[in-house]
Amino acid sequence: MAGVGSLTATERGIYISLLCMMYEAGGAIPRDDERLARGCGARIEDFRRCLKALISYRKIEVTDLGLSNRRVVAELYDSQRQNVARQTAAREGWKKRKEINGAVMQMQSNRYANAMTTTTTKKELTSSTVVGPANDVNTRKLSDYKNTPPTIGAELASILANMGKP
């Protein structure tokens, strides 16, 4: 409770509500006391009194963009910086894996991307309808596929194929 221990219950509630609004907005929120008071669940007079106190305690800052908080801005900046770093690392990793395994991955993708097995009857699990890469339909027993490598769906194959592209 460090940092909010000296606040009244109303000030604390309004402060936390304003912080939540800032995180949701991705930064500063426009100064519209009536709208913010409703969002905090407070009467306009109570909101203005508490906001004045929060500004004097330097919990909330008034900027050109509206109301802000230094910690919110810092946290949002760090989060955005980490997201960019993770996206860059993921792209580089996929690029490297594509260079190393490109031919193997492409062969498997072409061979199995459109394969889909569906059961033809609920009672009998020994027969299936298989839709192959050329969209031909063959009826076979499940045992025919006992030694076949597992396949991935077309949607997943498409997602994986496009992950390395910006």
Exposed (0-12), middle (13-18) or buried (19+): which is 110, by Cβ within 10 Å? exposed
**Mean pLDDT, consecutive 10-residue segments, the chain of 166 residues?**
82 95 93 96 96 95 92 89 89 82 59 52 44 42 44 48 52
Confidence at residue 106, expressed as pLDDT on a 0 to 100 scale: 58
Beta strands in 60-143 (DSSP E): 61-63, 66-68, 116-119, 127-131, 137-141
Give the domains, in start order, of the chain with CATH numbers.
9-68 (1.10.10)
Q: N- to C-terminal Cα distance for the chain?
A: 44
Burial pattern 125-134, b for ≥16 Cβ within 10 A else e, equals eeebebeeee
Confidence at residue 30, expressed as pLDDT on a 0 to 100 scale: 95
What does the alpha-carbon distance between residue 2 and residue 70 come to, in Å, rounded to a whole number? 16
Confidence at residue 52, expressed as pLDDT on a 0 to 100 scale: 96
